[in-house]
Amino acid sequence: MAQHKAFIKQLNGITFAGKTDSNNWVMMDGPEQFGGSNAAIRPKELLMLGLGGCTGSDVASILQKKRVKLDGFEMNISAESTDEHPKVYTKMHIEFVFRGKGIKESDVERAIELSQTKYCGVTIMFEKAMEITHSYKIVDSGE
């Protein structure tokens, strides 16, 4: 079984810097009313970015292997959370947006399906704690 590590250092109040095995730093912070300086992403927001980065890299790689040419690819992720503490996410939705000419729905659907059910470890972990849904849109470059 693989081991992974993270190192997190308090800089000031609730401002932290962290890095993992990749040795790249990320800043995390909170609002001023809770002792932060409002200068970086909130730790929980990193979960949405992690989900998007994981499934996005899968989908992009699968479409590249299928020789699907994209002029652009983006994702919009929305999350619902509880109102009471602990404020946890209860649902996330990923909207995949593909831009290009002649992109086939079947290629997009298969790439998303493979990511969501086989390759994206973040999706599979999150599904144990919340509902993950997705949709997609194809924008033809000719439009």
3-class SS letters over the chain: CCCCCEEEEEEECCEEEEEECCCCEEEECCCHHHCCCCCCECCCHHHHHHHHHHHHHHHHHHHHHCCCCCCEEEEEEEEEECCCCCCCEEEEEEEEEEEECCCCHHHHHHHHHHHHHHHCHHHHHHCCCCEEEEEEEEEECCC
> What's the rounded mean pLDDT across residues 87-103?
97
CATH number of 45-140: 3.30.300.20
What is the percent of the chain with per-residue pLDDT over 90, rounded to a whole number? Answer: 98
> What's the rounded mean pLDDT across residues 6-11?
96
- State pLDDT tens for residues 45-89: 999 999 999 999 999 999 999 999 999 999 999 999 999 999 999
pTM for the structure as a whole: 0.93
What is the percent of the chain with per-residue pLDDT over 70, rounded to a whole number? Answer: 99
Q: Which of 33-37, 72-76, 130-134 has the lowest mean pLDDT?
A: 33-37
What one-letter code names the amino acid at 131?
E
Q: How many Å apart are CA 66 and CA 72, to the nearest integer?
A: 16
Tokens of 56: 């996005």
> What's the rounded mean pLDDT across residues 102-117?
98
CA atoms within 13 A on the CB side of 59: 28
On the question of pLDDT at 143 being above 70, the answer is no
Residue 141: band (very low, low, confident or very high) from pLDDT cuts 50, 70, 90: confident
> What's the rounded mean pLDDT across residues 6-20?
96
Tokens of 136: 């997609």
- State pLDDT tens for residues 68-80: 999 999 999 999 9
